[in-house]
Amino acid sequence: MPTPSPVVLFDDGHGQTAPLTDLRASFMLRTGALTTLERLRRMMPNRRFRVWTRAALETITRETTDLTVNEPAAGPVLLLNGRCPLPPASVYELSEGEGLIDEASGDLIAALLQGEDANALILGGRPGVPRAKRVKGNALIARPWHIRTHRDACIKADLALLLGEGRGELPAGALKIGDARLSLSETAKVYPGTLFDLEQGPIVIDHHAVIRPGAQLIGPCYVGPNSTILERATIRPFTAIGPWCKVNGEVAGTIFQGFANKAHDGYLGDSYVGEWVNLGAGTTNSNLLNTYGETIAQATPAGKHERTGEQFLGAIIGDHVKTAICTRIMTASVLHTGGMFATTAAVSGCTPPFAWATDAGTKTYRFEKFAEVVTAQMSRRKLTPSTNYLARLKDLATPQ
């Protein structure tokens, strides 16, 4: 049997995907329980992977993956766009010289090419694929809110991949209802008084996760490694919590990238939460208009208002965002990287990167102070921001 072609997962930098991809390549984005890269490696276990990313993200990508980064490939390779969280089935049926193009944007979804042609295509030297088929629908993430568009399908696919890994047993005093599967890691800690509702879908609790007394989890949902669900929290369907998070209150249909805290009461629905976010006590968002109509959002502060195709859309919260107690976030808001919000008025619309918003007005967060906060916060997890990471943050904070 021939060896499957290696996969080159590439980050083309197209679309308007900030703040999701300010500090990570598109394939490192948690699009469900798993990142896109994690999902594809599990879906194609017999293929070798390498990645290609934008120059601005190359150094920090090298720090966060064990894969080959930005090195030319030889022989036939399967090119996959990192903005495609769930490749269509036709990807696996491609013959050499064939590709798939997103009909809406004209961007490449996938192609099976010789290494020389693949390298040239990634670098922009050859824009075309000899035989390209157009694919309808939203195959690629092109706006921040498209993570909501792909959420349900990705979480369902991920839970199916993960369900067989848990070997832990439900302790006495913890309850479950429903017939879907519950997968507990042997190293997870579940306290008495917790409830797992499996009537609508499965639940996966990963390595060293902690579920505190009184928490309710309603599947389908996922709790990642070393994360803690605090007392009396309610985790509703289609929520995926990445590693090292603390979560409380009511959370529904929300993806946490990882290393974020929502440790107090407050509602968070149909949202995305980046890394190193801290939501103050009582922070609450709206995910539905009073008209029950389609939500409208902006990808950038100066960008146009666009229809999202979603009735339910909460907040897209970029990395390192902080909110004060009782902060209110309006429907379909996009909070860009590094913002600090301490206003009595609700946060709404699309906020600029490194916004320092108080009742006195909005100014730009001083980067030196911001970097001090980043270092202090990461040290609480016994981590230190790398020189490359801080340099990338400074680039984002510098007006272009």
Of the listed ranges 106-110, 289-293, 354-358, the least confidently predicted one is: 106-110
CA angle 75, 78, 116 (to 5 degrees): 40
Burial (Cβ within 10 Å: 0-12, 13-18, ≥19) of residue 164: exposed
CA angle 306, 307, 308 (to 5 degrees): 110
* Residue 232 confidence (pLDDT): 98
User: In this model, does residue 125 exceed pLDDT 60?
Assistant: no
pLDDT band with cut points at 50, 70 and 90 for residue 128: low
* Residue 343 confidence (pLDDT): 98
User: In this model, does residue 123 exceed pLDDT 90?
Assistant: no
User: In this model, does residue 276 exceed pLDDT 60?
Assistant: yes
pLDDT in tens, 130-171: 788 899 888 999 999 999 999 999 999 999 999 988 888 899
pLDDT in tens, 68-102: 999 988 889 999 999 999 999 999 999 999 999 99
pTM comes to: 0.97
Instruction: Round to whole Å and give the CA distance between 124 and 14.
Output: 12
**Token pair of 116 as six digits:** 């020389």
* Residue 2 confidence (pLDDT): 66
Residue 196 and residue 323 in one domain: yes
Does residue 1 lie in a domain region?
no
Identity at 364, one-letter amino acid code: T
Helical residues (DSSP H) of the chain, grouped into ranges: 36-43, 58-64, 115-122, 146-162, 367-379, 387-397
Instruction: Round to whole Å and give the CA distance between 195 and 67.
Output: 39
CB 249, CB 232: distance < 8 Å: no
Residue 93 and residue 124 in one domain: yes
CATH (domain of 100):
3.90.550
Residue 206 and residue 122 in one domain: no
Query: Residue 386's closest CA among 370, 375, 373, 372?
Result: 375
Does residue 141 lie in a domain region?
no
* Residue 56 confidence (pLDDT): 97
User: In this model, does residue 1 exceed pLDDT 60?
Assistant: no
Residues forming beta bridges with residue 251, ordered by sequence position: 235, 268
Residues forming beta bridges with residue 351, ordered by sequence position: 335
Number of domains the chain contains: 2
* Residue 127 confidence (pLDDT): 52
CATH (domain of 206):
2.160.10.10
pLDDT in tens, 251-275: 999 999 999 999 999 999 999 999 9
Instruction: Round to whole Å and give the CA distance between 112 and 283.
Output: 47
Phi and psi dihedrals of 377, rounded to 5?
-65, -45
User: In this model, does residue 18 exceed pLDDT 70?
Assistant: yes
Phi and psi dihedrals of 160, rounded to 5?
-65, -35
3-class DSSP state of 145: coil
In the chain, the percentage of residues whose pLDDT exceeds 90 is: 89
| 322 contacts: CB under 8 Å, gap ≥ 6 | 277, 278, 279, 280, 339, 340, 341
Of the listed ranges 14-28, 52-66, 111-125, 382-396, the least confidently predicted one is: 111-125
Residue 168 and residue 311 in one domain: yes
Instruction: Round to whole Å and give the CA distance between 20 and 30.
Output: 9
**Token pair of 72 as six digits:** 């030319």
Q: Rg for the chain (alpha carbons), in Å?
A: 21
Helical residues (DSSP H) of 4-78, grouped into ranges: 36-43, 58-64
* Residue 207 confidence (pLDDT): 98
Residue 84 and residue 168 in one domain: no
Residue 179 and residue 312 in one domain: yes
3-class DSSP state of 251: strand
Enclosing domain of residue 189: 146-397
Does residue 2 lie in a domain region?
no
User: In this model, does residue 126 exceed pLDDT 80?
Assistant: no
User: In this model, does residue 323 exceed pLDDT 80?
Assistant: yes
Does residue 140 lie in a domain region?
no
